[in-house]
Amino acid sequence: MKIKTQYAMVLNLDKCIGCHTCSIPCKNVWTNRKGAEYMWFNNVESKPGVGYPQKWENQDVHRGGWRLKGGRLKLKAGGRLHKGINIFHNPDLPTIDEYYEPWSYEYAKLVNSRRQRHQPSIRPRSQLTGEPIHLRWGPNWEDDLAGLGETGAGDINFKNLEYTTYLQFRHVFMFWLPRLCEHCLNPACVASCPSGALYKREEDGIVLVDQERCRGWRYCVSGCPYKKVYFNWKTGRAEKCIFCYPRVEAGLTTLCAHSCVGRIRYVGLLLYDADRISEAASAASGCEIYPAHLDILLDPDDPAVRETAAAAGLPAHIIAAAARSPVYKLIKAWALALPLHPEFRTLPMVWYIPPLSPVSQHVESSQAPDFIDHLRIPITYLANLLTAGEEAPVRQALKRLSAVRQYMRSQRVENRIDAQVLDKAGISSDTVEKMYRLLALARLEERFVLPTAPIQDDDIFIRQGGCGYGGSV
């Protein structure tokens, strides 16, 4: 067993209000530069929809991530030899129109316009060409409309569902999906780079681009199935979410998590067995990957794990931080959070608690054993999004979330204890109280557990070059 540490984030989709506040500080701090106008390291998509860039989830179109060939993992877009031969032509890259052509407005005209009869208006101008443009797509174009009528047919999460059913008003549904780089355990971007410019930090698993080594081949862009590496047309280099590592090293959480209005984000360290990454990513079918992924995450309270971790040289404060981590509880102990498209086989480390979308009369009369099937968002849709189509883990997570609500409601509002609901969800009252605390009340220091990088621990927290963006960070 080779124990390593990894930062992970959990997002509770039940609480995301789609305000996009998370995207703004990220944009202002990391991609508010020439060449990076179209980049959103953190973006918030509405589901259903095809997202940003369009159809990023459809690997028949974009050919990102891994596939299994003869029981072995292969990059879907071909290996290094294939890339070497085709290095000047990469047909799998998304086009700028699939992201969106970035634009701004001639704001000065509003201020400088001379007095006139009608209020002045301003036109959008492309930030690439400076020419006026007709707006046809943007990073959250599908917001509020959920894009269903226009783009629903292109949403792969309707697999085994008839999407036109959800065009009817009484069936329509939507929720928000905030997305950032997954800082995967088995990152396809790293394996795709012919220059070896992408790397995963030894000490905390954050995936970075070495700007000095990047040659702008863009195979990381096409290799990432989540489309979370971007090409900067000004510098000719690749850029991606850096998990705010300068903040994280100082014990501060990422900007997206810190600014989240809905308080839906949790950040912490996980311990995992690095020797079993390949085994987990090579599980025979897509739906076997999630349990295999869970299996390599180690219990930080297990004395044997702690002993092995200490023997491997992990400092005591890192092991202690992993034990206090909110993400281990949400991901493994309580199995509330699920990975995004595990079938891409990259073992993503940003996890999502599925949205409960209650239709209140069904949830509150939980006596009906099938109330989960009457929630507004179809279970099949969530399973296609989070568990490669396997519905059981989604059902379990939703039942537990619902049990927390009903139990706490019975206790606080109705002044009685509804123990029946706990039996049905298979959890104890003690666990429910802890879930409630973390999901509803947790303070900043409970949601974000980030050990600082002590100066004397140079052996563990080696500063690896950096992701320097022209002195802007």
Q: Binding of ligand SF4 at residue 189 (CB under 6 A)?
A: yes
| Signed CA dihedral, 44, 47, 53, 58: sign only | positive
Residue span binding ligand SF4 (CB under 6 A) among the ranges 166-174, 175-183, 282-290, 461-469 = 175-183
Q: In this structure, what token pair is assigned to residue 374?
A: 């009457």
CA angle 38, 41, 43 (to 5 degrees): 85
Say which residues have a Cβ less than 8 Å from residue 408's Cβ, sequence separation at least 6: 432, 436, 440
Q: Is 183 in the site for ligand SF4 (CB under 6 A)?
A: yes
**Binding to ligand SF4, residues 250-279 (CB under 6 A):** 260-262, 264
Residue 87: CB minimum distance to ligand SF4, A? 20
User: Which one, of 195, 198, 191, 190, lies nearest residue 217 by Cα?
Assistant: 195
Judged by beta carbon, residue 17 or residue 419, the one nearer ligand SF4 is: 17
Task: Name the residue nearer to ligand SF4 (CB basis): 155 or 182.
Answer: 182
Neighbours of 61 (CB within 10 A): 16
Q: Among residues 240, 332, 345, 399, which is the contact residue for ligand SF4, using CB under 6 A?
A: 240
Count of residues that bind ligand SF4 according to CB under 6 A: 28
Contact 262, 28 (CB under 8 A): no
Residue 245: strand, helix, or coil: helix
Q: Minimum Å distance from CB 228 to ligand SF4?
A: 4
Residue selected from 76, 228, 293, 332 as contacting ligand SF4 according to rule CB under 6 A: 228
**Rounded to an integer, what distance in angstroms lies between the CA atom of residue 401 and that of residue 302?**
26
Amino acid identity at 82: H
Q: Does 48 bind ligand SF4 (CB under 6 A)?
A: no
Closest CA to 155 of 388, 385, 383, 378: 385
Q: What would the two tokens of residue 32 be?
A: 């508010």
> Alpha carbon 34 to chain centroid distance?
26
Q: What are phi and psi of 243, to 5 degrees?
A: 50, 35
How far is residue 330's CA from residue 335's CA, in Å, rounded to a whole number?
Answer: 6
Window of 110-118, 176-184, 398-406, 429-437 that interacts with ligand SF4 by CB under 6 A: 176-184
Answer yes or no whether residue 238 interacts with ligand SF4 by CB under 6 A. no
Among residues 48, 53, 94, 178, the one that binds ligand SF4 under rule CB under 6 A: 178
Residue 353 binds ligand SF4 (CB under 6 A): no
Nearer to ligand SF4, 103 or 226 (CB): 226
Q: How far apart are CA 49 and CA 67, in angstroms?
A: 24
Binding status of residue 377 toward ligand SF4 by CB under 6 A: no
181 part of the interface to ligand SF4, by CB under 6 A:
yes
Q: In this chain, which of 21, 357, 410, 411 binds ligand SF4, going by CB under 6 A?
A: 21
Closest approach of ligand SF4 to the CB of residue 181, in Å: 3
Q: For residue 226, state whether it binds ligand SF4 (rule: CB under 6 A).
A: yes
Neighbour-count burial for 401-412, b at 16+ CB within 10 Å, e otherwise: bbbbbbbbebbe
d(CA 315, CA 306): 10
- Nearer to ligand SF4 among residue 158 and residue 245 (C-beta): 245
Q: Tell me if 43 contacts ligand SF4 by CB under 6 A.
A: no
Query: Measured from the CB atom, is 241 or 314 closer to ligand SF4?
Result: 241
Q: Does 340 bind ligand SF4 (CB under 6 A)?
A: no
Residue 388 is a binding residue for ligand SF4 (CB under 6 A): no
Q: Which of 44, 298, 314, 318 binds ligand SF4 (CB under 6 A)?
A: 44
Of 49, 331, 348, 148, which Cα lies nearest the Cα of 228? 348
Cα–Cα distance measured from residue 232 to residue 37, given in angstroms and rounded to the nearest whole number: 9
The site for ligand SF4 (CB under 6 A) is made up of: 16-22, 44, 176, 178, 181-184, 187-189, 207, 224, 226, 228-229, 240, 260-262, 264, 346
